[in-house]
Structure 1
Amino acid sequence: MHIADRGLLSRNILRKVGRQSAAASVYAFVAMAGLTAPQQAFAQSYQFSSVKVEGNDRVDAATILSYARIGRGQTISAGELNDAFQRISDVGLFEDVQIIPQGGTLLIKVQELPTVNVINFEGNKRLKDEMLASIVKSQSRRVFSAAQAEADAAEIAKAYQESGRIAASVDPRIIRRSGNRVDLVFDIKEGKVVEVERVSFVGNRAYSDRRLRQVLETKQAGIFRRLVQSDTFVADRIEFDKQMLKDFYAARGYVDFQVQGAVGEVTRERDGFFVTFTVREGQSFKLGRVTTVSEIPEVDAAEFQKALKLRSGITYSPTVIETNITRLENLALRKSLNFVRIEPRITRNDRDLTLDVEFVISKGPRIFVERIDIEGNTTTLDEVIRREFRAAEGDPFNPREVRRAAERIRALGFFKDARVNSEQGSAADQVIVNVDVEEQPTGSLSFGVSYGADSGVGLTAGFRESNFLGRGQTVGASLSTGTDNKSGSINFMEPAFLGRDLSFSFDIGYAETENQNSDYDTRVANIGLGVGFPVGEYSRLQLNYKVVDSRIKNVDDDSSQILHNEASVGGQLTSSVGYGFSYDTRSSGLNPDSGLLLRFNQDFAGLGGDLTYVSTTGLAMAERRIWNDDITLRAVVEGGMINMSKGDSRVTERFFLNSKIRGFEGNGVGPRDLNAVNEDALGGNVFAAARFEAEFPIGLPEEYNIKGGAFFDVGSVWSLDQVTGGPKSGVCPVVDCTVDDSMNLRSSVGVSLFWETPVGPLRFNLSKAVKKEDYDKERNFDLTISSQF
């Protein structure tokens, strides 16, 4: 171990902060030299016939003299001599500077700062050398700077603090080498992780501490504290948490909400933090009267009033107001009304806790967008950012639209930070919009483990790049293998096809599976194309074309004659076009406590290929939080039907109730050939299912991320094109080998345990079949896990 030379650091730092003392030494030298000079010269001025420089190696004498600005024969005062000393010292190239008058000669002695030989890190385990090297600004083969070394040490300590090690200390030291070189060593004492032991709130009445902790980025330390990074204390995260609380309450009508304080206190043992938020909630307001007035004679306010999607009695939310302002502005643009400003005027009614909103249509200033300047995008193309703006150069300037464009740019997920602001252009009616972004990695390589009671343990590997070549395109590939199956896929998506809000997708897939609880295998290969576009504020339409090659193989001799007949057909090609409509308000709906999802899909097969049919599926899901958001209620209803026009349906096209109702094994319900030895499940052409469930806390600390649940499921699958079964021999052991394909309802009830772990979400289901057929196969316990790491 080398011994540090701390003298160099100390002298440099002292030279920076104590130059008055150093300057005084100049005067001392001058006074000593002046003992042999005339008294008048000592008091007033000095003159040197020559100026010598000593001690310099890398910096030539002429350069040093240019800093000193003292010429031969020049008369200078004692103050000017001190100024010369200051100028040479301020260059930052010298460890020590002395100015010594020697009669008619002025001697300038310098000791150059050493150069950095190598930079090393000692004592670091949690943060690797490569990461620390990217933080420090000191560089090898550059002049050593004590101030920069201290600044680098502070940045390293900050990096440790952000990872929860607030007790980390970093001490820069140097090791002298020959040739006026030094090794710069950062001696690191990492310390222990300081976690957030408790997050508490003062002043909250409407929402519990448990609910508010779910809003925050900062989390309490749980049982997986060594794996979870969000439970370490990061001071900068507190400001973000304060904004999250404000947004949470604002979306629920609390217009007076304030975060009056946020304090992080270290425990007495200095091994944890107590974080306390002091809040003032106020009251929740609802919308009162909603009106529209126009200050522009040619604009009909009643027409704009009809465009609003607001009603009295709903909870007030700034997001809802902004959404409706956008709707009115878009209407103005469609009517070719430029420079129209929509201003909400809010009247507060404290008696009934309502807010009357009056949308005022007025003329705004005639200001145009001169240009949009983009900086910081080293990978992402300018056009990817520009297309998030609804205005281009030369269009009327709308400050609200600029703010929304900034939100859309951040929502891309390509940037760590995105700042959008405007400034005065070349004229009073021109504005320059500045976009400054900081890019972040957009690619990921994932490896995962999945488990299902039917499918067993599976391994997955995937690659995904959401900003391919900086064009905003998504490219992905995945491979997975399980106990009885393997699959792979490649997909591509262009979100702005032809420069419009039109997505284009392409995917290829291949899968080989052994169908659950059945003695046959399937092989499916598919190629698909699709385009999607919005048709409403919360709705989207997807058009697609798909080619599928499917085959049933390895049917066991003990299987149903129906399956043998389907396998004998061989591989069949399906060529289909279709559409899918979705309506989703779960993340941005009018009510933050509830959400609605609707999906409807139809595929029309018969454009070539071997099969002609129409396949229709639909799903409706609604969820709502009640009891101050502590309980989530959810209902899902879905169904599907396939109508064959050419050929009979096979198990590769038919529906099963797997994962649609709990309490039964995979392929455990539905039409079944009881006359075959292995009693195969055959699926059906029609299915319907409904699931009702609730999630709620069960009294455990929320940092454990464990919740409880209860559910009730009901459904059925029915209808076959072929109903004559029996063994492969074709000789039926009974008079009638007809398969019962009637609609027989099944239902189950149960309880669940949800556990969000660092290795993936776990769900435990304990269920009991309430209504079933004798031949159905039950499952009372089920565990699922899905993880990426």
Structure 2
Amino acid sequence: MKRLILDKIRVFYLFCVFFVFLFVVYAHASIVSEVEVKGLSSIQKDELLYLLGIQVGENIDSDIVRKGIKRAFLKGIFDDISVSAEDGERVKVFVLVKEKDSVRKISVSGQHDVSTKKIREIFPIKEGQYLSCEPFERAIDELKKELSFLGFPHADITMRTVRLKSPYKVDIKLEVNTGIPEIIKRIDINGPEEIKSVMKLTARSIFNRSILKKDLDRIRAYYKKKDYFKPLISDPIFKDGILSFSVNPGKQLKINISGNSSISDRRLLRELPFSEAEDFNDDILQEALSRLLHVYYTEGYAFAQIAPVVSEKNNIINVNFFIFEGPVVEVGRISFSGNTIKENELKEIMSLKEGKIYNSEILDSDRDALKDFYNALGYLDVYVEEIQTVYDGSNEKMDIYVTLNEGKKTLISE
């Protein structure tokens, strides 16, 4: 039987009495001579008056004060604000506020098989929180729901508040008796037997749905690590102490790399997109080839070639990457034609450098860099007509010939 014990704040929270009274009788020219504030605890007087739009020595305006009261309520700490003033040219303003109670401490007692820390964590009201006008029964129902999720559907909870000497401060005392838990008698899995070794839940465990959710995530991660694609897990059913669900691991991808002597399997496998895509198709295979070639190009293997061979049998996809690495190529001579700017200046702009690793993927960015350089100098119609590469196999160097059409230079007169 649920029992709820509250002190004097019970009336306020059950009925949520909310009343704002604003009674200001003054002429439009009334000036605030003094402000008296009562009932304020959580914020400074100056901050409240700023929110209300009231300032000593300034005119008081009822419309501004009404808007100020609405603004003050947005802080979420007030239950009631009233403002009144006497008639006259210089008036004394009276501000009376009632703040919401805030929770100093939540203590937990009773016979419970869930830790006090966990109960505080799943209880919707937190220490330091301002209490709203919602009935406490809702918080208790939410706590019961969370305990049921953890395997304790028969929990009994009582709650009471204790008002402290400090204004608007209360302690909440919970008595929690978790009762008899739901116990797993048997786990039936339609799928590979190895799955049970991945799970934390076992027969004779409390049926904790939070742990079950993590177990299902562990099963997915287990098969993903073994290069399976999107394992299918049915919605678990728990009835009469028996937990049952089915698992279909899906298709498995097996990758083999051969012909690579300069770059390790481990580094190349890190580049493959299959795990992040959790799928296999022609587009993803093409992306894999591009990534592998990028690794080789950045290391100077300008003539690297990769041939994939794919076969599938019994839900196992075998992919063999046959690699021809070729030689490491360096940049030979870089020369320009059609230029009036010195070659050394143009070479400084390019990322490819003579005597350094050659990477064909950088040619386009070097083309753009040259164009930007010319544009900055006023050659707005510059055009890189051609970048020709010639390989010299005798010394494994790639010569680069750049043909430019500078166009006219635009001069800005003063």
Using structure 2 for the length normalisation, give the TM-score: 0.49
* Larger strand fraction of residues: 1
Q: Which has the higher helix share?
A: 2
Which protein, 1 or 2, shows the higher relative CO under an 8 Å CA cutoff with sep ≥ 6? 2
**What TM-score do you get using the length of structure 1 for normalisation?**
0.29
